[in-house]
Amino acid sequence: MTRQILLIAVLIVGMMTPIPSLAMEDAEAVNVSGRQRMLTQRMMKNYLLIGAGIQADKAQRQLDEAVGLFEEQLLQLRDYSPTDAISRQLDTVESLWLPHRLRIISAPSKAGTSSLMKDNLTLLKACDDVVKAIEKYAGIDSARLVNLSGRQRMLSQKIAKIYVARAWRIRSDWLNEEYEEAITLFDQSLAELEHYPNNTQALHDALQRVRNQWDFSRTGFELEDSGRYVPTVISVTTDSILAKMDDITHQYQRLMQSQTASR
């Protein structure tokens, strides 16, 4: 089990260290902008873990890494931005990010967590708008696959975020609805990716591994009415799914790049 956790950690740290490029292509931009969505949820999850006192040192390191990567990628996307409209959407992200960053890196306050989580969702939506705009600009069907698979990364962290919030006894009427929607959307999107007719054998095998883990883990995602939560287990499980979906997203990125080159 320890070896598995170390492997997952290595994969995620690698994912947190993007390879610098002189000129970002559309396929990479869909991937990178999609990763921004995931980072919003990963930051919020780790803020909650710190507040709840659950592996706080590890959560602090992951939070710091996520904040740094979010800012680095925001600059990369600004350099890439191919249209004034996308630049304006990135302006919106930045205007939301600057005050959010100050709160997300501060010492957790349970009293203010509910409002912070709502602001976090506003930032998530702004990041999602950027992904959709870049996908539309790319004008190629495979861009949707990069978007869709990349969104699975975000959903893995959103599920973990809400689970930890409940473990810390954060009570908000919208949390249960958000939780169920995230699980349903992950399941539907995974099925759509599985049925894409041009999946390579490597993609088929990778998606099957995610499917196996997802089906096995779903019962553990259920919110316990008894009040017994296992946030450490859920965090490890969702990080494993995150690492697998990141690899799949990169495979779809390469597929999009090859299709773009052949146009």
Give me the helix-helix angle, 56-80 and 84-104, nearest 10°: 160
Express as a percent the part of the chain with pLDDT over 70: 89
pLDDT one-digit tens code per residue, 89-106: 999 999 999 999 999 999
pTM for the full predicted model: 0.90
Quick check: 24 pLDDT over 50?
yes
Binning the chain into helix, strand and coil, the percentages to the nearest 5 are 80, 0, 20
Extract the tokens encoding 69.
């990567």
The boundaries of the domain holding residue 152 are: 2-261
Residue tagged 């958000």 (tokens): 178
Residue 171 has a pLDDT of 83
Quick check: 223 pLDDT over 70?
no
**Contact, 42 vs 66, CB < 8 A?**
yes
Quick check: 151 pLDDT over 60?
yes
Residue 22 has a pLDDT of 47
Q: How many domains does one find in the chain?
A: 1
Q: In Å, how far are 38, 48, 100, 133, 147 from 144, measured between CA atoms?
A: 17, 31, 29, 11, 5
Output 225 or 85, whichever has higher pLDDT: 85
Rounded CA gap, 208 and 205, in Å? 5
3-28 b/e with 16+ CB inside 10 Å = b? eeeeebeebbeebbeeeeeeebbbbb
